[in-house]
Amino acid sequence: MVLRFAKKNLPANDVGQGREPRDEIKLLARAARSGDVRAARTLLNALGPAMLRVIRKVVGESQADANDVLQDAMFGLMKGLAGFREECSVTHFACRISVMTALAARRHQRRRAGDEAAVPFSDLDGVQTSVPDPAAEAEAAARRAVLWRLLDELPPAQGEALALRCIEGFSIDEIAAAGGCPVETVKSRLRMAKATLRNRIAADLSARDLFAREP
């Protein structure tokens, strides 16, 4: 149930699954890794739009929030290239860095606010749904809010795996390649993440009621 409602209530991937039609991105990444500043700048310009789309799915459409996270993600990408073994596409790797950075930003903002209701990220309000009336729309938004809150509370590795699977639509093999870890590790993280979500929903009367009424 968890994976089903996550895929339904969180936005679908529109990054093109991270497959580069040519080798230019990979060559740029290699040059940037060797210290070519011009290549690094060109690489970031090429990957920036895809990274920003990923970030906005997690932190919302606020330009200031998204741009701040994008800068951090780009820094993380440049730092991460040193250990990038090309087991996945560069775009997949960049999207993984973007998801990690955006989830960390959400967790940081929640801790700073001290109350999840005060978190300013507004992505949930802008997600298109197919619900037929305002009451159902409000209920769907409430389910997404609960899902985001629970996702924020997962251990980082589990939250990252679930976000890449449900938000970005990565396959298990793609998640493993992007993270440089075994497929069985990804499966275990997803299994534990979904079990944790099920248990927390079951223990929360309001959340349990929300998802029990899900069409």
Query: For position 166, which CATH number holds?
Result: 1.10.1740.10
- How many separate domains does the chain show? 1
Confidence at residue 121, expressed as pLDDT on a 0 to 100 scale = 36
pTM more than 0.85: no
Confidence at residue 99, expressed as pLDDT on a 0 to 100 scale = 92
DSSP state of 204: -
Cβ(124)–Cβ(144) under 8 Å?
yes
Confidence at residue 96, expressed as pLDDT on a 0 to 100 scale = 93
Residue 83 C-beta-side C-alpha neighbours within 13 Å: 10
Confidence at residue 182, expressed as pLDDT on a 0 to 100 scale = 94
Confidence at residue 115, expressed as pLDDT on a 0 to 100 scale = 47
Confidence at residue 107, expressed as pLDDT on a 0 to 100 scale = 82
Ranges in the chain, pLDDT < 70: 1-22, 63, 112-133, 135-137, 139, 141, 210-211, 213-215
Confidence at residue 113, expressed as pLDDT on a 0 to 100 scale = 62
The boundaries of the domain holding residue 198 are 2-212
Confidence at residue 2, expressed as pLDDT on a 0 to 100 scale = 46
Confidence at residue 215, expressed as pLDDT on a 0 to 100 scale = 54
Query: Which among 87, 74, 104 is positioned nearest to 176, based on CA atoms?
Result: 87
Report the C-alpha gap between 65 and 102 in whole angstroms: 10
